């Protein structure tokens, strides 16, 4: 199981710090957050992609995943007018182009909140149209589209393993795959391991982070309420061999370097205890 550093928490630091630290701390890859000031897709397309690729080469640290910011201002393909949806789709298509140019294996999307007045029918119609269009573009570009369920604190549209199964029933493509951020199932009393059993070969990626009931907070691995040593034992016994990004986000933005070091140290120790 390869461990990745997520760069969102480094947004007040130079982008190069992410690559330097991933190398220093023993991460296997980077999952690149696509927002300003670091890797916003229009900026990459305007020339910043060259600097990014130089960092990849300099530190011999691949960007396996690209996660463009699209759950808040100004992009959310689940809410607003049709023109706003189309604008978000065009932005994500450009993001797929940039993912290809940086050598990423996958791009991650997550259907965000659809608004309080949206019905299930409206939610699924909009989500299916959007993700079908993005999947068809991903097939042309040659980058997998990984879809992430969120917590109910973040989204009323897409929150569970069953939502992924329904999406795969509606859109059949080898370029459309799923993942599990372990916080959403934990706070909803859903089984984390059920994702792996239900999704089978469609289970492509994980976000590993600790959590607590009643909040979507992403906490340092081993310092929250999820029984993580036992989780790593279960993942080992199951035979999971995919990628797992340690998704420290804004809660650690004041000292990302200290916490990125602690996160991978904690996880490596739990993996070793589990027999990895």
Give me the active site residues, please: 148, 247
Greatest CA span in the chain, whole angstroms?
A: 52
Number of DSSP helices (H) and strands (E) in the chain, helices first: 10, 8
Eight-class DSSP state of 114:
-
User: Measuring CA to CA, which residue among 111, 110, 189, 96 is closest to residue 144?
Assistant: 96
* DSSP tag of 10: G
DSSP string, 202-223: GEEEEEE-B--TT----B-TTS
Closest CA to 149 of 132, 131, 137, 136: 131
Q: Is 21 strand, coil or helix?
A: helix
């Amino acid at each position: 199981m390869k461990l990745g550093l997520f760069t969102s928490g480094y947004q007040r630091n130079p982008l190069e710090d992410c690559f330097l630290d991933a190398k220093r701390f023993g991460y296997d890859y980077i999952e690149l957050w696509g927002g300003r000031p670091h890797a916003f897709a229009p900026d990459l397309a305007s020339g910043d992609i060259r600097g990014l690729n130089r960092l990849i080469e300099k530190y011999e640290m691949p960007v396996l995943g690209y996660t463009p910011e699209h759950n808040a201002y100004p992009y959310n393909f689940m809410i607003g007018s049709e023109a706003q949806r189309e604008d978000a789709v065009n932005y994500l298509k450009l993001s797929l182009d940039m993912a290809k140019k940086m050598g990423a294996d996958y791009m991650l999307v997550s259907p965000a909140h659809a608004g309080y007045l949206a019905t299930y029918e409206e939610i699924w119609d909009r989500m299916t149209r959007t993700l079908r269009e993005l999947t068809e573009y991903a097939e042309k570009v040659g980058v997998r589209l990984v879809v992430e369920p969120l917590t109910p604190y973040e989204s009323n549209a897409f929150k569970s393993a069953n939502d992924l199964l329904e999406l795969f029933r509606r859109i059949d493509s080898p370029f459309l795959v799923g993942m599990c951020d372990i916080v959403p199932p934990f706070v909803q009393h859903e089984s984390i391991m059920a994702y792996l059993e239900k999704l089978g070969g469609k289970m492509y990626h994980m976000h590993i982070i600790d959590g607590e009931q009643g909040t979507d907070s992403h906490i340092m691995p081993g310092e929250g309420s999820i029984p993580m040593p036992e989780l790593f034992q279960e993942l080992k016994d199951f035979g999971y061999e995919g990628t797992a990004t340690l998704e420290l986000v804004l809660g650690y933005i004041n000292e990302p370097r200290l916490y990125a070091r602690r996160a991978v140290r904690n996880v490596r120790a739990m993996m070793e205890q589990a027999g990895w």
